[in-house]
Amino acid sequence: MEKGEMMTGTQADAAREQSDVQNVPPERIWSQIIVLGITGGVGAGKSTILTALHEQYGALIIECDEVGRALQQKGAACYEPMRQLFGDGILFPDGTIDRKAVARLIYTDAQKRDMLSCIVHPAVKAEVRRQLEAFDRQTEAGFSGLFQNHGASEDRTACQAGEQSMPAPGLMAAGRLPDRAPDPQREEAGKVHPGKRRALAVVEAALLIDDHYEELCDEIWYIHTDDEKRRVRLRERRHYSDERITRMFEAQRSDASFRRHTQLTIDNTDDFVQNTFRQLKEGLKSHFPELFL
């Protein structure tokens, strides 16, 4: 099941607009790193962007869907709350969660769907923040080169291994992060100083705007692809029916809404991928010059 597929359709856009706050930070949020959020509709080609950011710019990649999967494993933050919500009927014989069974249950039960979101989304956001804090500290300690020589999953493992003393991610109130006491040194470090190079971390999810990831990201960029091109990709690569694709499109934000709540749009419609890479490079150089010092 694609994220957002079971949500309400275009009526949800108006409700989203009421709570969305576009936040363009005047200073960098983190001490040693830049955090870029990548969002967009299903089939927009976000994976192409993530691969380029990792391979060409050495970025640490955090995919929220993958974080959510990890948090649903036995012993992780979401496992027991989900078992209590849906019962043992969602479990395989070995005790792991059957995600398809969960999808079937929430398809017809909006209340359970909302309750699941309240379990998973805050836990994912807490874990993303933990990984970013670990990367920020390791970069400050001089370990940033480690993240330029491994894949995204290895990056996360290395990041976690260096932070074993940190508490495991827990559940929080939806849309909230733990309060943190002001740190004058951190605030000073977060300011953009001439000559200070930073490492790049990228957080990807379809719901970055809805879940207010501007609290963690210096900027959020929108990956746009024309609807017809997205349909072709989803039919050919994932073998989705037109009916399913239409439901998914209706459940997600409109193109106009994505553009209003992000700081840059990358057009990934062209089959010539170098055009996408050119836009990406120009955007990084103009928005985050500290990456190229």
Own/partner pairs for 19-26, CB < 8 Å, 24+ apart?
20/209, 20/210, 20/261, 21/212, 21/214, 22/214, 22/260, 22/261, 23/214, 23/215, 24/219, 24/263, 25/214, 25/218, 25/219
75 is in an annotated binding site: no
**Cα 201 versus chain centre, distance:** 11
**Distances in whole angstroms, Cα of residue 22 to Cα of each of 146, 189, 204, 287:** 33, 24, 17, 16
> Which uninterrupted H or E stretch holds 95?
none
Backbone angles phi, psi at 14, to 5 degrees: -60, -40
46 is in an annotated binding site: yes
The length of the chain, given as a count of residues: 293
**Distances in whole angstroms, Cα of residue 279 to Cα of each of 265, 268, 286, 287, 291:** 9, 9, 11, 12, 16
Spatial CB neighbours of 23, under 8 Å, sequence gap ≥ 6: 214, 215
269 is in an annotated binding site: no
Q: How far apart are CA 98 and CA 79, in angstroms?
A: 11
Helix (H, G, I), strand (E, B) or coil at 64: helix
45 is in an annotated binding site: yes
282-292 core/surface letters (b: 16 or more CB in 10 A; e: else):
ebbeebbebbe
Give the annotated binding-site residues for ATP.
43-48
Give the annotated binding-site residues.
43-48
